[in-house]
Amino acid sequence: MATILKPDICVIGAGSGGLSVAAAAATFGVSVVLIEKGAMGGDCLNYGCVPSKAMIAAGRRAHQMRNADPFGIAGVEPEIDFRKVNAHVQSVIASIAPNDSVERFTALGVRVIQEEARFKDRRTVIAGDAEIRARRFVVSTGSSPLVPPIPGLDEVDYLTNETIFDRKRRAGHLVVIGGGPIGMELAQAHRRLGCEVTVVEASSALGKDDPELAAIVLDRLREEGIAIRDKTKVVRVERRGKTIVRVHVETESGPETIDGTHLLVAVGRAANVEALDLEKAGIDFDRKGIKVSDKLRTTNRRVYAIGDVARGLQFTHVANYHAGLVIRALLFRLPAREDRTLIPWTTFTDPELAHVGLNEADAMKQYKGEIRVLRWPYAENDRAQAERETTGFIKLVTDRRGRLLGATIVGANAGEMINMWSLAVSKKLGMRDIAGYVAPYPTTSEIGKRAAMAYFSDAARRPSVRRLIGFLRLFG
């Protein structure tokens, strides 16, 4: 006989967004049921952000050892024990896992059900032997690696971000299908850890980013020995012997083959919607995910969808942003609408590539060309010189009155620096605001302030401004 549960909120999916909703609601004394069929913490903790950044950190240490000569320290080729690299990655996951554990959420007062969830009707979800009839439902089931229909792929062993972090032996030659952020981050990390790496991309690597800044990242990756094959379509793959995977590609100059020892598929993410029986709940969806309004409500007004499963930007911080909006709506009946122009993102290559707001091309279209583009290079920053991290620049896009529309940074610590610009975009700050704040010296954040001050350089050359200054000097 089914157990009938009638909580205020039922959350389906214990990834970043779902956990945030459950924790916040429970903190305010609201009854919550949380359903998760897999690992608590979802993709970010177990297969995505956390393990990838741990591996990137290991690769960075190896790279620094090889390239210490400019600091007067002899560079050495590091001895890399891939088993210990894997242990490092797993220990980072283990150190964070208690924050997302069943025990922690049970202690908060959340009823955790470790089963697969599916809708029975518009008001009911089934999970194991429980039947949940909640006032509101929040679907936060995330996404999974998209596996394209490449002939032969199902006949070879291939890796995705869900399996690559289990490896304890170094790949001889890693062939990466997909030149987006995930593919490029893992390509560089593996190259620095001693693997030969080839990236195959059907269009342009890092094609969703500003091409002017993305080119700097791609140049660095090529300098480090990564083969990046743009405009190269994979037509089929096959196993050759026991250790070789042959990738057949079509290029602008004709067909070619690429032989590797391991294959990583990193062509994007697919929303996890299949097992939910969304049709029974009257929820519209397609292969890109659940259709939601700007209030994150589905076509069933009892049900919200957040994070990767809601059609839109697929980042952990987006899921957390969505969670905050839903909590405002569910608990406090406050108006809460998604604004995607506020969402920053960072590709954690070296150099990093970070962005928020409108890029130059979109701003030109939206403002009919009445924009200003401001740049300032890392090479003109004292801290960057001291750290020998002079590759890169910041690019600011403003309207004709100097209000910030967007910012893109390529260079060291760009992911940290973009935080301030995210705040500036969200608060609609202008160049006068940015130029007026005091930055500690020497820090790379001064790069952005110098770019903002460049906005006023034209004013200094105007005859009218100079006449005004001359007039004011008459008064002593």
Q: Binding site membership for NAD(+): which residues?
A: 178-185, 201, 268
Tokens found for residue 370: 């009445």
Contact of 148 with 236, CB cutoff 8 Å:
no
Number of helices (H), then strands (E), in the chain = 15, 25
Please state, in angstroms and rounded to a whole number, the distance separating the CA atoms of residues 191 and 120: 48
Q: How far is the CA of 95 from the CAs of 45, 46, 92, in angstroms?
A: 10, 12, 5
Binding residues are 53, 141-143, 178-185, 201, 268, 308
For the chain, the farthest-separated pair of C-alpha atoms sits apart, in whole angstroms, at: 93
End-to-end CA distance of the chain: 92
Phi–psi pair at 334, nearest 5 degrees: -95, 150
Q: How far is the CA of 107 from the CAs of 40, 101, 130, 255, in angstroms?
A: 15, 10, 20, 59
Please state, in angstroms and rounded to a whole number, the distance separating the CA atoms of residues 265 and 259: 15
Cis peptide before 51 (omega within 30 of 0): no
Please state, in angstroms and rounded to a whole number, the distance separating the CA atoms of residues 343 and 50: 20
- Torsion angle, alpha carbons of 37, 278, 316, 15, to 10: -20
Please give the sequence-ordered ranges of beta strands (E in DSSP) within 299-369, or none if there are none: 303-305, 345-347, 352-357
Tokens found for residue 180: 């987006």
Binding residues for FAD are 53, 141-143, 308
Q: Supply the Cα-derived Rg of the chain in whole angstroms.
A: 25
Please state, in angstroms and rounded to a whole number, the distance separating the CA atoms of residues 17 and 216: 33
Please state, in angstroms and rounded to a whole number, the distance separating the CA atoms of residues 83 and 278: 42
DSSP for 231-243, please give it: T-EEEEEEEETTT
Instruction: Give me the half-sphere count of Cα atoms (radius 13 Å) on the Cβ side of residue 133.
Output: 5
